[in-house]
Amino acid sequence: MPNTAGHSTRAHFVLSGVLVLAGVVLTGCGGDARDAWQGPGAGPHLQAARSGRVTVVYETRTVRPEDREAVALIRNSRVLERSADWVNRTLVLPHDMTVKVTADVPPGVTDAVTQPDGRTIFIPPSFLTEIEKTLADVVKSVERPAPFPASEYNTDDLTVLSTEFVFGHEMGHALQRQLLLANLGLEEDAADGFASFYTVNEVGPGPSLAAAILFDELARKEGRPTLEGLASDHPVTQQRAFNFLCYLDGSDPKKYRRSLVDSGYLPKTRAPLCPQAWAMLDYGWWTQLQPHFSAAFKAQGGAEQKKAHARLIAETDALAKRIDEIRTGH
């Protein structure tokens, strides 16, 4: 996690372990293990008649021995299924979506990636292992950031929580592409925004904090931004970490201001803008998703959108009253 107050030294540390997985495990909303050709709770004929469901598939036969530990960790945590369940419960999708944890990925794919039609998300097992190794380095060599709970400052918890955020990013892509949502900026920014929107509202601060820790470490390993990095459709890695923290702080400034801002993890120059930024993000995603709410979620979703709209108005008014003070730094 970025700390503007100082930096820590690092040493290399890698966990090791063996957990043999075999076959193909498919889980859906209910999370039961089934044959790869069946959907959750249905045989092949019923599954063919259904559409718009998110299913998580672990193609364990493709997983190399060195990646089995990381895959088992994520599978047992059920963080992928938790996001899938939320989408299945709240939204109506035009097409089925399959999340594949597999080494059988399209050419050139090394990270988690969403196909252009939004119907398939690939998560390479080696990508999960790299996250795990990076966070093992952090736990070994970096003092625990003040906002992060001591009980969760270990490789496993950090890996699970940061993977949940990263998967939220890919789910954001998938929803944008399936639902043909309008973007007012780069799609990558919107996908990061969905990860914050979903995890802060549905899970809590853990994924945002863990993702900030992960991206801070990735940024330090990358070193100075290159021309290619600055020209990328993704924001600069370090900037993304601060964005995650800004949205989290803005979601509840009274709760997070002391641990995030006063401790130096989110600069005081950025913090005053975060409550309105979060309010705009929260209202924006509820509004984008509102036409696609399921019948069972429509009333609750409408109430969330209305509440987010009222907060946006209040935070915009509050920002207007303080903008001159913020601009002059007084």
Give me the DSSP letters along 138-188.
Answer: HHHHSPPPTTS-GGG-SHHHHHHHHHHHHHHHHHHHHHHHHHT---SS-HH
pLDDT for res 254 = 93
C-alpha torsion sign, points 256, 257, 263, 267? positive
pLDDT for res 67 = 98
C-alpha torsion sign, points 135, 105, 191, 187? positive
Could you give the maximum distance between any two Cα atoms of the chain, in Å? 66
Contact 29, 93 (CB under 8 A): no
The alpha-helical segments, DSSP class H, found in 91-152 are 125-141
DSSP symbols for 249-309: HHH-HHHHIIIIIITTSS-TTTGGGHHHHHHHHHHHHHHHHGGGB-TTTHHHHHHHHHHHH
Going from the C-alpha of 52 to that of each of 21, 109, 264, 276, the distances in angstroms are 29, 25, 44, 33
pLDDT for res 109 = 96
Going from the C-alpha of 145 to that of each of 141, 224, 238, 248, 254, the distances in angstroms are 12, 23, 16, 15, 19
Of 148, 99, 87, 153, nearest to 128 by C-alpha is: 99
pLDDT for res 152 = 96
Contact 90, 294 (CB under 8 A): yes
Pairing of β 97-101 and β 54-58: parallel
d(CA 250, CA 175): 24
pLDDT for res 327 = 84
Close Cβ partners of 211 (under 8 Å, ≥ 6 residues apart): 161, 162, 165, 166, 195, 241, 244
d(CA 290, CA 309): 13
DSSP label of 55: E
The whole model's pTM is what?
0.83
d(CA 205, CA 251): 10
Which residues in the chain land under pLDDT 70? Answer: 3-51, 227, 229-235, 330
φ, ψ dihedrals at 100, nearest 5° = -110, 115
pLDDT for res 160 = 98
